[in-house]
Amino acid sequence: MKNVLITGAEGGIGRALCKEYMKAGYRVIASDRNPNNGVDCDTFLQFDLSIFTRDEKYKEDTIQRIIETLQGNGLSVLINNAAIQILNATENVTIDDWRTTLDTNLIAPFILIQSLLHELERAKGNVLNIASVHATNTKPGFITYATSKTALVGLTRALAVDLGARIRVNALAPAATATPMLLAGFEGKPELFKQLSHMHPLGRIATPEEVARVALFLTSDAASFITGAVISVDGGISGRLHDPV
């Protein structure tokens, strides 16, 4: 039985990842800081990654819970999907904004990889970090988020080199995705949503399921010679200039 651990499972992409891996026959271990609210999984572990990075006892207890859940079968796939997005103009960004963002979006993924490395090697497993289009193309207000995702891409490449043949490490960089949170932000603003959609060369934003299907491929044996890669799932928007036509 292949085990997959998916963090941030309560989010739109997290839920889609859980469903996709369940369909593919994985034993899905989902985690989130919030209680389980209908996530499709075999086991749900509630823990807060911001506490996980700062409290050694909490971290050790969490890792032990994860290892016990693996039941001696190792970890085939670790998906670092959980993230926090704090929006602020430069003059309003606080040290706490930086610490909270980097703890969840960068440091927690590294600690999980480091702490579960033996379990990943046992199962000949691999890691997928969910980055963002903001790692390369961003917009005002996304200072801490964009920086954290840029760093996560750097971490992906560095770990792929450092770990070599031990485990593969890759990243996905989605653009706008039709998660409940994004759609709620455009409620009552159909023209703005239409504008966002048409900014993508494909003429629409992604569905969470499309992101999850690429994730499943990258973590499968079909992608066995891919490591250190950052795959854009962005409908072509990263390659487009937005000058007036």
Query: Which residue shows structure tokens 């979006």?
Result: 105
Q: Where are the domains of the chain?
A: 3-175+208-233
Per-position pLDDT tens, the chain of length 245: 899 999 999 999 999 999 999 999 999 999 999 999 999 999 999 999 999 999 999 999 999 999 999 999 999 999 999 999 999 999 999 999 999 999 999 999 999 999 999 999 999 999 999 999 999 999 999 999 999 999 999 999 999 999 999 999 999 999 999 998 889 889 999 999 999 999 999 999 999 999 999 999 999 999 999 999 999 999 999 999 877 65
Provide the β-strand partners of residue 30: 6, 44
CB 85 within 8 A of CB 102: no
Cα–Cα distance measured from residue 7 to residue 200, given in angstroms and rounded to the nearest whole number: 28
For the record, the structure tokens of 38 come out as 């209908």
pTM of the model: 0.96
CATH topology (fold) of 3-175+208-233: Rossmann fold (3.40.50)
pLDDT at residue 163 in the model: 98
Annotation marks residue 145 as catalytic: yes
Cα–Cα distance measured from residue 192 to residue 223, given in angstroms and rounded to the nearest whole number: 37
pLDDT at residue 244 in the model: 67
* Cβ neighbours of residue 209 closer than 8 Å, sequence gap 6 or more: 16, 19, 20
**Which entry of 21, 26, 58, 145 is annotated as an active-site residue?**
145
Cα–Cα distance measured from residue 129 to residue 235, given in angstroms and rounded to the nearest whole number: 19
